[in-house]
Amino acid sequence: MNFRRIGSVTSVAQHFDFCRAMTALCEDICRRHPEFRHVRMPEVPVTFSQTRSPVEWGVQARLTPLRFEGGASVERRRGRLWTVQRVTHQGREALYILTFFLPRFLNLSFEEKMITVFHELYHISPQFNGDIRRFGGACYMHTGSQKGYDRQMAVFAKEYLQSQAPEDLVRFLRFSFPELQAHCGHVVGLRIAIPRLIPMDKVA
């Protein structure tokens, strides 16, 4: 197998751009699978954060919404109005940030990685308004069961892979972090600090 080209990114100067490869995969998922066609990936920058330990337990990935409930840009908390710090990426204002924690995420099995990708993308509101997808009840993020939620994500992932998904786009997920490093050099990508809440009276 040619490790010099994994996914849609070719190793140049001994680097592998994880975020570029993941963005290409997510774009294809959102084109192919009907449950994700509302997602506009140019407004969802993919980033990575380095973990101190390669152990598998802990957060693997995180979707950060950049709007409040219902897509509101301002929310009142404790009598004060707040907004979220704006993020612009490649000339577009972002509505979400999708972050993967490396090397932890890449050391999962291929199936677990695919489920994780679908898990985070499915958190995006069907209205694509900067808010998360909200379910009824107290467990509004994962219905009544995160295990049940992930079982559904496994179904979505299987449907995607059976839709003639290009192997070039998923191949990089078949390797662990050490394998990518061994064959492509440094694993690099985009880093964006998580935006802060800003009081409206401090906004210029």
pTM for the complete prediction?
A: 0.87
pLDDT at res. 51: 82
Residues 118 and 110 sit within 8 Å (Cβ to Cβ): no
106-158, pLDDT tens digit by residue? 999 999 999 999 999 999 999 999 999 987 655 555 566 778 889 999 999 99
In this prediction, residue 145 carries a pLDDT of 72
SS (H, E, C) 44-109: CCEEEEECCCCCCCCCCEEEEECCCHHHCCEEEECCEEEEECCCEECCEECCEEEEEEECCHHHCC
CA distances from 136 to 85, 118, 129, 133, 142 (A): 28, 20, 18, 10, 10
Residues of the chain with pLDDT under 50: 1-12
pLDDT of residue 7: 46
Phi, psi of 82 (to 5 degrees): -130, 155
